[in-house]
Amino acid sequence: MPNEATRMTEEQRYLLDLQGFLVVENALTPEQVAALDAEVTSRMEQEAPEASTHRFGGLLTWGRPFRDLIDNPRILPCLEEVLGPGLRLDHDYCDVIRRGKGPIGTTLHGGGTPFDPVQFYRFAEGIPRSGLFVVAYNLRDVHPGDGGFGCVPGSHKANLPFPAAWRDLSQPHACTRAVTGPAGTAILFTEALAVGHHGFQRPVQPTAVRIIGFDFFGGGAAEQFPQRLSGVLGFQVPQCDVDGSECEVGDAGAADPVDFRLFMKLLPERDHLARVLTDEQRAEAVHDAIDDQAVGRQMGVRA
C-alpha cells in the first residue's frame, strides 16, 4: 500500500469510484510527449503511411521513453492503491486515428454486469479495487468531436447489462461521454467500465488522435507462471517470484494467465529487463537493458 503522502487524494478517489475513470493532467512532460510522438510518427511512416487508423503493440521494445511509462511517478501511486504493490503490466498498445473510426471501431465493450473475474470493480474498506486497469495517454491534443476515448460514466457499477442498442459510439447515446484533454493527459479507468472509441465528429479533421494504452493487473493471483503453459508457449520460467521471493516452478496452484496478451517478469538478474511474451506472435524476445539502467519497480516489482 502506498504511504499517505503518495496515495490518491480524496477527490481523485471519489471521482474514480463515481465515474469509473480518472483524468490526470500533465501526466507526461512536454519532452516525454515529443519523444513518444516522434517515435510513433516514424513507425507510422514505415508501417502504415496511408492508413486511416492503426494499432501498434509491443511498445516496450521501442525504447526507454515507452518503458518509463510503466512506473510513471505521476501515475504509479494510483495504480498501487487500486491494484496493490505487486501489480503487473498485462499488455500495451498505441492507437492512431487519422480519420473515421479507430482501430477497434466504435462499439462500446465492458460494463459492470455480467460479472467478469478479470475485469471487475468493487470498493472495499475505503479503497477502490479493480481487475484490469488501464492508463491511456494522449500524445496529441484531443478536443470535443476529435474522437478517441469514450465511456458510460458509472457503468462499472451497473447491476444490469449495458443495452446492446446503445453500444455504437458513432451514434452516441446521451449517457455516453467523450473524455478529452491536451497532449500529456492520462485517463485511468477500470476495464469494468463500458468503454470504446468515438469516431470523428467535427467538420475539420485534426491531424491525428494518438493514444498509448497500458493495461495493468493486480499481482495476487498471478504470482507464478505455470510450467505447463511455459512449455507450450516457449517461455523460460524464472526461479523467483517477481517480488524477489522464491517460488516453485510449475506450482499447480498458480493461475493460468490465459487472458494475458503481454506477460512479463523480471529475471533473477536485476539489470536485465523483462522477457516479453505476446500470444499473438507466440515468440520470445529478451531485451538486455544493462545500459538502460532498468528500474527495479518496473514490471510490478517492488524495489
| DSSP, residue by residue, 149-214 | EEE-TTGGG-SSPPPGGG-BTTS--TT-EE--B-TT-EEEEETTS-EEEEPP-SSSPPS-EEEEEE
At 201 the pLDDT is: 63
* Range name among 37-46, 51-60, 126-135, 215-224 with the lowest pLDDT average: 215-224
Q: What is the mean pLDDT of residues 284-293?
A: 33
Query: How many C-beta atoms lie closer than 10 Å to residue 29's C-beta?
Result: 11
pTM: 0.72
Say if CB 273 and CB 289 are below 8 A apart. yes
Whether the Cβ atoms of residue 160 and residue 111 lie closer than 8 Å to each other: no
Max Cα separation, the chain? 59
Q: How many residues can be counted in the chain?
A: 303
Match 473524455 to its residue by C-alpha cell.
Answer: 179
Asked which of 213-217, 233-237, 250-254 is least confident by mean pLDDT, the reply is 250-254
Return the pLDDT at 200. Answer: 64
Per-residue pLDDT band at 278 (split at 50, 70, 90): very low
Contact residues for 164 (Cβ-Cβ < 8 A; gap 6+): none
Confidence of residue 288 (pLDDT cuts 50, 70, 90): very low
Confidence (pLDDT) at 104: 83
Mutual angle of helices 10-19 and 76-83, in 10-degree steps: 60
- Average the pLDDT over 120-142 and give the result: 93
27-36, 120-129, 237-246: the lowest-pLDDT one: 237-246
pLDDT the model gives residue 6: 54
Stretch 162-178: mean pLDDT, rounded?
93
Local confidence band at 52 (pLDDT 50, 70, 90 cut-offs)? confident
Read off the pLDDT band of 150 (50, 70, 90).
very high
Q: What local confidence, expressed as pLDDT, does residue 143 receive?
A: 86
Q: Which of 96-105, 120-129, 207-216 has the highest mean pLDDT?
A: 120-129
